[in-house]
Amino acid sequence: MPGKIAITPRSLSGQGHPALSSLIGSGYELVFPSPGEMPTEEQLRATIPECVGWLAGVEPIGGALLEQADSLKVISRNGVGVSNIEMPVADRLGITVARAEGANARGVAELAFALMLSGFRHIPWSDAGIRSGQWQRRKGFEAQGRTLGLIGCGAIGRLVATMATQFGMKVIGFDPFPDDSFVLEGFRYGEIGEVLEHSHAISLHCPPSDKPLLDKVALAEVREGVVIINTARAELVDETALLGALNRNQIGCYATDVYACEPPAPGPLITHDRVILMPHAGGFTEESVDRATQGAVSNLLSVLERR
């Protein structure tokens, strides 16, 4: 029997999307806990327990909330990451967690590559300087002939590798489960130590673990002046160690689209003139939103109608 479905991604709750009409046409009532904004825990607790389905974004979904959601059958992400969901609790309660596989890959990959080029050419710094009345330059460098290191070679990483080789770059990719069917001229798999030591830019495309991947030890191994791009998860980088590496010029630039807390609080890393910031917009393109929404809606109906 149809019931309520919560819609919480900011890209959908504020402006809607044509794909949501499929849910209404199937008899479901759509509820929006916080239109156009990331919902608070209080807003979710007031809404989710009444819902049978949840089209979810990147907001934290804790175990206590899931315990209260007696009617909830499925959480459908409009993306691929589920690190914001307390999965052991969802599994124990029999709540299906579905993902829109690959929907955001192109958008995130293009942003990662754009951030790399911005770091190479100091674009945000130059723009800010001219706007403030200064006329200063920092010498950049060209992509051709440089080495890009990838940590994580899934759908996003492989797209970034393809873009880089088209610019004449060499690419070293580390992945604990390498896909040997991915063959690309200019690309090879390597160990993580090779990525750290030889790369002029390092782009992160992997899930977090119980400790930062780029900690003080790892950051001491990177090539001086490296550009680090993070469109994956904030937890992959030790921010204290990162700030130290920036200040001693071990890292030339850090470009990120992800934060431990969103929006991030002001601090020395956020205000650093060699840090490039994006507001978690990797998958926020017209095409990615369309693919992700259609996939998430399809997954919701598949689970709910099956039940």
From the candidates 233, 239, 274, 291, give the one annotated as an active-site residue: 233
Residue with tokens 């479905």: 5
Rounded to an integer, what distance in angstroms lies between the CA atom of residue 88 and that of residue 75?
A: 14
Q: Where are the alpha helices (DSSP H) in the chain?
A: 10-13, 21-25, 41-47, 63-68, 87-93, 105-121, 123-131, 155-166, 192-198, 216-219, 239-247, 286-306
Rounded to an integer, what distance in angstroms lies between the CA atom of residue 51 and that of residue 48?
A: 5
Q: Is 262 a catalytic residue?
A: yes
Count of CB atoms situated within 10 Å of the CB of 144? 9
Q: Is 233 a catalytic residue?
A: yes
Burial (0-12, 13-18, 19+ Cβ within 10 Å), 306: exposed
- If we measure between CA atoms, which residue out of 44, 9, 14, 59 comes closest to residue 288? 9
Residue 169 DSSP label:
-
**Residues 37, 15 contacting (CB under 8 angstroms):** no
**Residues 116, 229 contacting (CB under 8 angstroms):** yes
Residue with tokens 């006329």: 135
Count of CB atoms situated within 10 Å of the CB of 40? 12
From the candidates 41, 67, 224, 262, give the one annotated as an active-site residue: 262
Q: Where are the alpha helices (DSSP H) in 122-167?
A: 123-131, 155-166
What separation, in Å, do the N-terminal and C-terminal C-alpha atoms of the chain show?
9
Rounded to an integer, what distance in angstroms lies between the CA atom of residue 184 and that of residue 217?
A: 31
From the candidates 10, 122, 200, 280, give the one annotated as an active-site residue: 280
- Annotated catalytic residues are 233, 262, 280
